[in-house]
Amino acid sequence: MKGKIDLIKLWMKKAENDLINARNSIKIKPEPPLDTVCFHAVDIRYPLFEEPTTEEAEEAIEMAIKIKEFVLSRLPVENERND
């Protein structure tokens, strides 16, 4: 069984991959798949809600970055951090 730090690293890697995906997807022209960019906001996973605007998707990415920075600032210091 993995230790807490190993589990945290796995979740942080998954979150980083999601953020990379969102950053890349929002750049798709002429029309980015905004529902996919914001997929990890739980409600948007289901077609009962309006598709987010580009501005809302960009704001979601910025919030994700700030949350990532906050979480990383609370973790034990290690040489392997990927910012």
pLDDT digits (tens, 9 = 90+) for 7-65: 888 888 888 888 999 999 999 999 999 888 887 676 655 556 677 899 999 999 999 99
Residue 80 has pLDDT above 60, yes or no: no
Q: CA-to-CA distance for 65 and 7, rounded, in angstroms?
A: 20
Residue 1 has pLDDT above 70, yes or no: no
Residue 68 domain flag: yes
Residue 50 domain flag: yes
The predicted pLDDT at position 29 comes to: 96
Number of domain units in the chain: 1
Residue 51 domain flag: yes
The predicted pLDDT at position 66 comes to: 95
> How many other C-beta atoms can be found within 10 angstroms of the C-beta atom of residue 81?
10
Residue at token pair 């605007």: 53
Host domain of residue 42? 30-74
Residues 6+ apart with CB under 8 A from 76: 5
